[in-house]
Amino acid sequence: MRENKKCGFVALLGETNVGKSTFVNTAVGEMVSIVTPKPQTTRTAIKGIYNNHSGQIVFVDTPGIHKPKGNLGKIMVKIACESLVGVDLLILMVDASKPLRVDEKILGEIERFRGPKIVVFNKVDLVKNKNELLPKIENLSKILKDVEIFPISATSKEDVKKVIDRIFESLPSGEPLYSDELYTDILEKNIAAEVIRKHLFLSLKEEIPYTTAVFIEKFAEPQDEKRKVHIEAVILVGKKSHKPILIGKGGENIKRIGIASRMELENILGRKINLRLFVKLKPDWENDPETLKELGLR
């Protein structure tokens, strides 16, 4: 008898920095979406594809919901909300290690969403006093009414697997939409841009990483596997005063960012890379429609 396979889209919605991208990476077992300790790391909707004997889950990681200060933030929140259209199941992720709160915008989206929804109460490993957890879960279930809550650590494969099993229960029957060799639909050149952005976020302080963006101008992958992949990337900087800080004394910062990005990308692509970074000042790029379009931010 033919097995009844399941398949569907599952979006992760939540405030910024709660662990949405970490969850998708743990589920898929690959670096699909960049993770940093800073809020507002994810800027677009990113798909991570998970397969097992039960079927296929297409996770949609989304930018964190926050009160936007500028145009980029507004676009990110809009992308997150629009990502819920056509999704089969919604995961609301809440940070268990912080004082309990659910943003009004999120509550509105949760109410509007007609399909099945679950809550993932993440980062429980950071809650030292476990007695604090139960009252928080009770309060959360009062706010969200009738929504199942999973206290987990998104860094734990075991915990994430429990959520995956629960997701399959609610997904519709269907054949996989993507080949089981794919773990994401993102182009390799866009993964390269994201990895560089990750290292900008990790090495730059305060508002500086938020005024940067990365374009890949050249991505040449020779057929001969022994030859290096040649990547040329442009780092856009939105403020004049940020450019020398990003580059660093004698270019030491940009050199460090380049080396860290190249090493991570070599790991992901399984090939040697020649990476060249160019820093370009583009004042106020987040308000320039052409630049936003090129970055996939609309």
Ligand X SMILES: Nc1nc2c(ncn2[C@@H]2O[C@H](COP(=O)(O)OP(=O)(O)OP(=O)(O)O)[C@@H](O)[C@H]2O)c(=O)[nH]1
Residues in the site for ligand X, rule: CB under 6 A? 14, 16-22, 35-37, 39-42, 63-64, 122-123, 125-126, 153-155
Q: Rounded to an integer, what distance in angstroms lies between the CA atom of residue 90 and that of residue 13?
A: 7
Q: Closest approach of Cβ 79 to ligand X, in Å?
A: 11
Of 36-44, 81-89, 106-114, 200-208, the segment contacting Mg ion by CB under 5 A is 36-44
Helix (H, G, I), strand (E, B) or coil at 3: coil
The item of ligand X, Mg ion, none sharing an interface with residue 126, based on CB under 5 to 8 Å by kind, is ligand X
Q: Closest approach of Cβ 177 to ligand X, in Å?
A: 23
Nearer to ligand X, 40 or 56 (CB): 40
Choosing from 42, 44, 122, 184, the residue that interacts with Mg ion (CB under 5 A) is: 42
The sheet carrying 89-95 orders its strands as 46-52, 55-61, 6-14, 89-95, 117-122, 148-151
The item of Mg ion, ligand X, none sharing an interface with residue 54, based on CB under 5 to 8 Å by kind, is none
The item of ligand X, Mg ion, none sharing an interface with residue 37, based on CB under 5 to 8 Å by kind, is ligand X
- DSSP per-residue codes, 206-258: TTGGGGEEEEEEEEE--SSTTSPEEEEEEEEESSTTHHHHHH-GGGHHHHHHH
Taking every pair of Cα atoms in the chain, the longest distance, rounded to a whole number of angstroms, is 67
Nearer to Mg ion, 19 or 258 (CB): 19
The item of Mg ion, ligand X, none sharing an interface with residue 8, based on CB under 5 to 8 Å by kind, is none
Q: Rounded to an integer, what distance in angstroms lies between the CA atom of residue 33 and that of residue 24?
A: 7
The item of ligand X, Mg ion, none sharing an interface with residue 16, based on CB under 5 to 8 Å by kind, is ligand X
Q: Establish if 26 lies at the interface with Mg ion (CB under 5 A).
A: no
Q: Establish if 21 lies at the interface with Mg ion (CB under 5 A).
A: yes
Give the residue carrying structure tokens 């860290």: 260
Q: Rounded to an integer, what distance in angstroms lies between the CA atom of residue 7 and that of residue 171?
A: 6
Q: Are 42 and 260 in contact (CB under 8 A)?
A: no
Q: Taking the alpha carbons of 200, 24, 225, 193 in that order, is the dihedral positive or negative?
A: negative
Nearer to ligand X, 122 or 261 (CB): 122
The item of ligand X, Mg ion, none sharing an interface with residue 275, based on CB under 5 to 8 Å by kind, is none
Q: Rounded to an integer, what distance in angstroms lies between the CA atom of residue 185 and that of residue 67?
A: 29
Q: Closest approach of Cβ 22 to Mg ion, in Å?
A: 8
Q: Closest approach of Cβ 2 to ligand X, in Å?
A: 37
Minimal CB distance residue for ligand X: 64
Q: Residues interacting with Mg ion, by CB under 5 A?
A: 20-21, 41-42
